[in-house]
Structure 1
């Protein structure tokens, strides 16, 4: 078959590679426009754009696939469209133009976690298993009939970035098999069953850790927002990134209190503690938590944010406006 592939970030690369190396022909790639990266904000092609151009595949950069761009792409005589983390909606007439329509590799067990950040929301929610679904693309968000399902257990200590990387590899193999099944006519599909839940894109507010929270909920949120948008708290009012953390069994610390216990830096939660492994204080480079603690000097008494701290700040700001 002749395939149009739509994708943007690194997580889409294993799927594109699998299709490029398979028996079908990727005739066109669609990706998001080049984005400014780094301190110098240099315009940089997406990972998918870079791979497509290396492979010599014609590429379209577009933030949305409607209007004139969609009409132009719809004229490509493709048999199938494939989406993996493109980052935008595919609209008519492009949606209906391939002979077999479009399929989407999605990292959840639909209808759970429809939307842009399914893995992140699954971890924040404490899910113990996760699916990779391949479904038919329709106008409604992630609502099409499912062609293929695989279910994977979730390691209780894995972060969103690590889990996405693993699912990208297994999902690519699943996608290749599904494309073969569509080509030979053996693919079947079924309507999604159950009540949908939604997984919107996460922002900085979602990544803020407040320590008057049960330890398991706090740890799950840390896992879900690592590495993006990146877990952080406020230590004595200043932003403090938590790059790596672990569960701890100690329960003697008050919520928000940071202490050196043995050789470990622990933060008290509502009902337990979180161990800090690697951190980045405001205005400084990333470092291991022990080095940060030693740099505080004699008898340090740092404290991480509580939700009551934020409530007080909001209330004070409201009074002064």
Structure 2
């Protein structure tokens, strides 16, 4: 078949490469426009655009699939549109332009966690199983019939970034098989079953830590917002990022209070304390929690202060 692929971040690259290695023609790759990166704010192509260039594939750069982008894509006469984390909505008339419409690789087990941040929201909710699903794109958000899915058990202490990377690798061959099935006329999509849950995009506020909560909830939150937007608290009026924390079996510590116990740096919660592993004070780089603790001069330090 003649395909158009739309994607932007690194998690979409394995899918693009899997399709490029297959028997189908990729008429164009659609990705968001170059973005300023680094301290010098150098305009840099998206990971998908860079991969398309390496593969010798033509690229359409657009932040929205507006009338101009729709015209360029429609002119290619694609038989199938494939989208993986593009970052924009496909609306009519583009939705119906390809012969077989559009399919989407989504990083959840639909209908659970429809939306922009499925992995992050799943981990924040404490889900121990998630997965990848390929479904037919429809006008309603992530509501189309599902062609195939792959389940994935979340490893202990895994961050959203780590789970996303794993699902990107699992999802790529899954997506390629569905494309082959559509081309061969054997693919069958089934309606989603169950109560939908929504996964809206995260904001900085979603990463705020409240140590009056229990340890399990805090660990789930940290996992879900790592690496972006990041878990954070305050210390002496300045932001302190918590890059990594793990469970501890130590005796209770007052919520937010930071203590040293042997080589461990603990912070109290409503239940058992958390072991702080890696933190990042405002204006500084990431450091192990022990180095940070030894560098502060506050007696009886409390996070959230």
**Shorter-chain TM-score: which interval?**
over 0.9
The whole-number CA distance in structure 2 between the counterparts of 1:64 and 1:138 is 17
Q: Secondary structure at the match of 1:219?
A: helix
TM-score normalized by structure 1?
A: 0.93
The whole-number CA distance in structure 2 between the counterparts of 1:128 and 1:286 is 28
Q: Secondary structure at the match of 1:166?
A: helix
Q: Secondary structure at the match of 2:6?
A: strand
- Report the counterpart of residue 285 of structure 2 in structure 1: 285
- Report the counterpart of residue 142 of structure 2 in structure 1: 142
Aligned residues: 305
Q: Secondary structure at the match of 1:280?
A: strand
User: Which digits, 9 at most, give the CA deviation of each residue in 1:53-98, with x for residues without a partner?
Assistant: 1212111111111222212211212111100000000122221111
The whole-number CA distance in structure 2 between the counterparts of 1:70 and 1:250 is 58
CA contact (8 A) 1:259 1:266 kept: yes
Q: CA deviation at 1:137?
A: 0.5
TM-score normalized by structure 2?
A: 0.97
1:128 matched to 2:128? The reply is yes
Q: Secondary structure at the match of 1:11?
A: helix
Q: What stretches of structure 1 of length at least 5 have no aligned partner?
A: 310-321
- Report the counterpart of residue 318 of structure 1 in structure 2: none
Q: CA deviation at 1:251?
A: 3.4
Q: CA deviation at 1:26?
A: 1.2
User: Which digits, 9 at most, give the CA deviation of each residue in 1:274-312, with x for residues without a partner?
Assistant: 111111111222111111111124x7322112xxx7xxx
CA contact (8 A) 1:74 1:93 kept: no
The whole-number CA distance in structure 1 between the counterparts of 2:128 and 2:280 is 29
Q: CA deviation at 1:250?
A: 1.8
The whole-number CA distance in structure 2 between the counterparts of 1:23 and 1:69 is 26
The whole-number CA distance in structure 2 between the counterparts of 1:300 and 1:12 is 48
State how 1:2-21 maps to structure 2 within 5 Å. 2-21=2-21
CA contact (8 A) 1:28 1:58 kept: yes
Q: CA deviation at 1:179?
A: 0.9
Q: Comparing 231-240 with 204-213, which one deviates more in the overlay?
A: 231-240
User: Which digits, 9 at most, give the CA deviation of each residue in 1:97-141, with x for residues without a partner?
Assistant: 111111000011111110000000000000111121100011111
Deviating beyond 3 angstroms after TM superposition, the runs of 4 or more aligned structure 1 residues are none
CA RMSD in angstroms comes to: 1.2
